[in-house]
Structure 1
Amino acid sequence: MESTVVPEKRPGYGRLLRTPGALSFLLPGFAARQPFAMLTIGIVLLVQHTTGSYGSAGIVAAATGVSMALFAPQSGKLADRFGQRAVLVPGVLIHTASVSLLVALALSGAPLWALFLAAVPAGASVPQVGPMVRARWAAKLDGTPLMSTAAAFESVTDEFTFVVGPVLATALCTGIHPAAGLITEATLTLIGGLFFAAQRSTQPAFGRTAAAADQNGEPHRSALSIPGVRVLAIAFLGIGSVFGGMQVSLTAFSQEIGNPGANGLLYGIFAAGNMLAGIAMGAIAWKMGPRRRLIFGYIGLTIAASLLWTTHSVLLLGALGLVVGLCIAPALITGYTIVETLVPRSSRTEAFTCLTAAVALGQAAAVMVAGRLADAHGASTGFLVPMAGTVLALVTLLALRSRLLPPTTGRVAARGIGHRVPVAVD
């Protein structure tokens, strides 16, 4: 059983942000994170406008998500081996060109297969800035009490991105032009990504240097070869199904009631709940171990997501969306916390990108399926996708929860949100 301890005082966010060099990579990194939050909804809104079909929009958006999921771990592996700058610069340029091509094809009325083909490199080249920022924090703060604060701060930043990104994309697409969301996404990626790549002084060690610096002297291992990482990836697939299913279904619901602008408001409420829960997670000194926090948080997420399809009013859907958002942050934060205890330092960026890729893959599948359901049976049926995704992921998480414990027993690691978590085997 997991033990509990008296929590230590957790250093605050102010002290974290005073870490030398932190702001130099945090500010451009925030801009460069926007593709993950803006790309899918931007594609859905543009392609649905040009084709009139949520199913077609879902297929194109799914192509970006699947290609991102397939290439993101490889991007992380290359960053661990050759350095973040070597991966980011060409990736940012390819992504900007690919999104521009996709916009041009959509506006010219190109066939669906052409949009699908253009979406593949757009997704494959999404810069994995979030995992790279986490790797920079880990390189600076590993083994210090500030590392747990950094984990909370990064999750809050992710949630804030999901508040700003979809709302901004929706406002641009509905208020200015259907392509404005993707154009803004490509611009932020280019500027933010290049500025982030230029911060070489905070880039973590890579290649043989990182392997030699690993505390345990372990040889490099692929992150996905570790059973616990695979379990967490399945859990994050379920989280992705919530993001994707809600993006499409909320858009379809807003169209059904004749108020397209409500989409941004409803998704913003959902994402705001996510962000608020992330802030709270960073403020609480937890007595419960991270594995239990993950399981309990996921149970709450599954229950809330399973009720979405029953709701048919804006007020109730907003309230329930808020609850779903409040339940996602604990699962995301704790998942990233646990993965740090499972992988050696030389595989960290790869491990973070594996989890990010799992969210993208779950989101891609959900967008495609929810789009088909919304076209055929109405917006409410699209909400069945988050229910199915979280139920399947929860069953897997419960069945394989023992794999989430580090292989070494009796070790104490500064990994929890706000305390040191003693590592113990059931």
Structure 2
Amino acid sequence: MSSTTPSDTPHGAPALARRLTLRGAVAIGLASMIGAGVFAAFGPAAAVAGEWLLLGLALAAFVAFANAGSTGQLAARYPESGGAYRYGRVRLGEWPGFLAGWGFVVGKTASCAAMAMTAADYLVPAEWERPVAIAAVVVIAGINLLGITRTARAATVIVAVVLAVLAIVIAAGAVDVARQGSAFDSADAAAALPPVTPYGVLQSAGLLFFAFAGYARVATLGEEVVDPARTIPKAISLSLAAVVTLYAVIGVVLLGALGVASLAAADAPLDDVVLLAGWGWAIPVVQAGAALAALGALLALVAGIGRTSLAMARDRELPAALSSVSRRARVPWVAEVAVAAAIIVLVLVVDLRGAIGFSSFGVLVYYLVANLSAATQPAAERRIPRWLSIAGAIGCLVLVVTLPWPSVVGGVAVFAVGAGIRLLVLARRRRLAA
């Protein structure tokens, strides 16, 4: 069996093909993380962390580092589709795996609808947002249906353009600081903002964590990665290191150019930075970059949901039809189409941009399962120390307390629905078997 053309599965269905190289995997990882959140998350984070914003970023980066290490270690051992769903099922049991997969598929499908609407909001007037969001979903689904290499190429182009836009913002901030001096003034911030508390710093860590929590997307594509034991951990590490560095630079620039109080009050802080530098011409560029970043995250996320749905369908946790793989493009085409259709329905029915907190809850459960799974691996399979996986699990639990209570309630409700459905299906299968 070659590295790029795997044999069919034992059931006769075609398997996915190992065509994703390190470069493509890194591009998908970067596209997953550099979403629209970087254009908006620093303001709310500064509002709760004040002058300790960078400490919040460091805490978020540590939790992300632990999660990424656990995910890379597991992906090297289990290079299959599904990510934490597969790892949890193998290492912890069917129920933890199911809950990780269910939370990811349901929560992230809602997130995709929000991303599509967010991108459209940056690009067109309100009355055109839904048609443009639907068109974006159709185009992205079409790219993914052409094969994983097309997804990687599109991600590469998107990431390159978004990085260029962020470079403009960083340059504008540097010019403004060089001309007027740093606006970071902790005394002014203390007067303008409520007193900073440890809980506020944790809240900022949570906000910033969710702004770049897509580093494990490559693991959901594990069945399509060339030399997965080497490529997946390396791709996760490279993409996470690049994004943490980028966010640190942007955080310093925003604090230096705007100051804590102005950053905390800003709805679009990156726009404010280019305006302060006198680069008004760059405002449309920054807005287009935010839209493109949202579409890049959407591209990678739709692919990840499709592969997780494929893995769950193979185990009869989702309808078996979702396990269909096209023989030509070697993609889970039924799952991809179903995901795109679900996103379009959500876009048509409800605007989820302000109501997807349950997705954040699901993300933390997803990574909690990944960390606990990694902690059970024997020493021969370890790439990181066990304590780091345990620390990642604790970090996920700590970040849960930073979520607004409606997000926790919504998350628990989504998992309860999934568990109820699974219990009914299992009971029906037992009756038929009897």
Q: TM-score normalised to the size of structure 1? A: 0.29
Which fold has the larger relative contact order, with Cα–Cα distance below 8 Å and residues 6 or more apart in sequence?
2
The normalised TM-score by structure 2 is 0.28
Q: Which has the larger radius of gyration?
A: 2
